Chains A and B, each alone.
Chain A
Amino acid sequence: MSRTQVLKDRSMVLQKEMIARHFARLEQAPERHEPVVYTFVPGNLTELIRSFDALPVLPEINALQSGMRKLSGDYIAEAERSGHSEDVCAYVKCDIGMAKAGNIGPAGTKLPKPDLLLLSYTGCYTFMKWFELLREEYDCPAVFFHVPYQGDGALEPEHREYMIRQLREQVIPALERVTGRAYDEDRLRQNLALSALAEDDLVAVLQSAKRKPSPIDGYFGTVYYVGPMFSAFRGTEEGVEYYRALREEVEARADAGLGPIVPDGSLDEQRYRLVVEGPPSWTHFRDFWKMFTDEKAVVVASTYTKVGGTYDFGFRHDPRDPLGTLADYCSGCYTNLNLPSRVEMIARYIREYEADGFVINSIKSCNSFSAGQLMILREVEKRSGVPGAFIESDLVDPRYFSQANIKNRLESYFQMIESRRRGAAAGGGGAAA
Chain B
Amino acid sequence: MRRTVIDWARELYEDLDFTAVHGWLDDHPGARAGGYLPVYVPREILHACGFLPVGIHGAGDRMEIIRGDAFYQSYICHLPRSVIELAQSGRLDMLSAVLFPSTCDVIRNLSGIWKLLYPDVYVRYIDLPQVPEPETAAAFYETELRHLVRDLAAVSDRLPSDADLRRSIALYNEMRAVVRDLYAVRRQRPWDIPTEELYLLLRAGEVVPAEAFIEQARRYLAAVEADPGRPRDNSRVVVVGAFCEQPPLGLIKSIERAGCYVVNDDFVLGTRFLGTNVSLDGDPVRTLADAFVNAELRTSVRYEGDACGKRRLMKEQVEASGAEGVIFAAPSFCDPALLDQPMLRGGAESAGLPCIAFKYSENTGQFQQFREQAGTFADSLKLWNAGAA
Contacts and interface: CB of A to CB of B under 8 A. Distances in A.
Interface of A: 82-85, 87-89, 92, 119, 121, 124-126, 128-130, 132-133, 135-136, 139, 142, 144-146, 148-149, 151-152, 156, 158-159, 162, 165-166, 169-170, 338-340, 342-343, 362, 364-365, 367-368, 370-375, 379, 392
In the complex, which of the residues A119, A133, A146, A169 has the most CB atoms of chain B within 10 Å of its own CB atom? A146
B76 interface: yes
A169 B334 CA distance: 33
A364 B75 contact: yes
Contact of A374 (B73, B124, B304): B73
B72 A121 contact: no
B104 interface: yes
A84 B342 contact: yes
A87 B108 CA distance: 19
B303 A128 contact: yes
Interface residues of B, number: 57
B106 interface: yes
A323 B339 CA distance: 32
8 contacts: A133-B342, A144-B305, A146-B129, A149-B125, A151-B111, A162-B140, A166-B136, A374-B72
B228 interface: no
The 9 closest A-B pairs by CB, nearest first: A339-B112, A151-B125, A129-B339, A372-B109, A85-B338, A367-B105, A83-B342, A371-B109, A368-B105
A88 B127 CA distance: 22
Interface string B110-138: 11110111000000111101111100100
B346 A83 contact: yes
B107 to A, nearest CB: 9
B130 A338 contact: no
A170 B105 contact: no
B68 to A, nearest CB: 11
A132 B303 contact: yes
B80 interface: yes
Nearest to B128: A146
Nearest to B127: A148
B106 A367 contact: yes
Interface of B: 70-73, 75-76, 80, 100, 102, 104-106, 108-113, 115-117, 124-127, 129-133, 136, 139-140, 143, 147, 300, 303-305, 307, 310-311, 330, 332-336, 338-343, 345-346, 359
Contacts of B126: 151
Given A88-B338, A159-B143, A372-B113, 14 more contacts: A132-B343, A133-B342, A149-B125, A151-B111, A152-B124, A162-B139, A162-B143, A169-B133, A169-B136, A339-B115, A340-B116, A370-B76, A371-B110, A379-B116
Contacts, number: 158
Contacts of A365: 75
A159 B330 CA distance: 33
A338 B342 CA distance: 30
B112 A372 contact: yes
B132 A144 contact: yes
B112 A158 contact: no
A124 B116 CA distance: 21
Contacts of A370: 73, 75-76
A367 B72 contact: no
A302 to B, nearest CB: 19
A88 B340 CA distance: 11
Contacts of B342: 82-84, 133
A148 B72 CA distance: 25
Nearest to A367: B105
B125 A152 contact: yes
Nearest to B332: A87
B109 A367 contact: yes
Contacts of A374: 70-73
Given A151-B111, A338-B111, A374-B72, A125 B116 contact: no
Nearest to B125: A151
B308 to A, nearest CB: 9
